[in-house]
Amino acid sequence: MHNPKLEAIKQGTLMKRFIASPLMAEALAVREALLQAKALHLSNICLKSDDHVLIKVLSSKQIPMEFYEINLDIENLSSSFTFISFTYVPRSLNSTADVLAKSALHLNF
């Protein structure tokens, strides 16, 4: 997480085992980020991801069945913020998140 000046506020990884799909892993990361943002009492959130499928799902009303419950959590958490957006960012422009994700993957195996 970073502020409007692009200064890091918080970063980290979350270890989970037996996640059904990459989409679910990304969705769990979004939920965790929203929980952290809420705990920090942030009111305006722009969540960026290099997973265009996730961004499409979060922005639409056509939710895959495997994603239904986590999407409800994300929707409920989203209502806590004054402003929230979900934006696709190419991996090449999101190197910090990519490094954290890869390190978590290596620690998980």
Could you report the average pLDDT of every consecutive run of 10 residues in the chain (109 residues)? 62 59 83 91 87 88 82 93 90 62 47
User: Does residue 17 belong to any structural domain of this protein?
Assistant: no
Q: Would you state the pLDDT for residue 75?
A: 92
Q: Can you give the CATH number for the domain in which 33 is found?
A: 3.30.420.10
Place of tokens 């979060």: 58
57 falls within a domain: yes
* Residue 13 falls inside a structural domain: no
User: What pLDDT score was predicted for residue 20?
Assistant: 67
Number of other residues whose CB lies within 10 A of the CB of residue 1: 15
- The answer for residues whose C-beta is within 8 angstroms of residue 53's C-beta and 6 or more apart is 23
Structural domains in the chain (count): 1
Residue 9 lies in a domain: no
Domain-embedded: residue 71: yes
Report the alpha-carbon distance of residue 90 to residue 82 in Å, rounded.
26
* Host domain of residue 31: 22-108
Predicted confidence at residue 97, as pLDDT, reads 55
Residue 56 lies in a domain: yes
Residue 15 lies in a domain: no
- Return the pLDDT at 109: 42
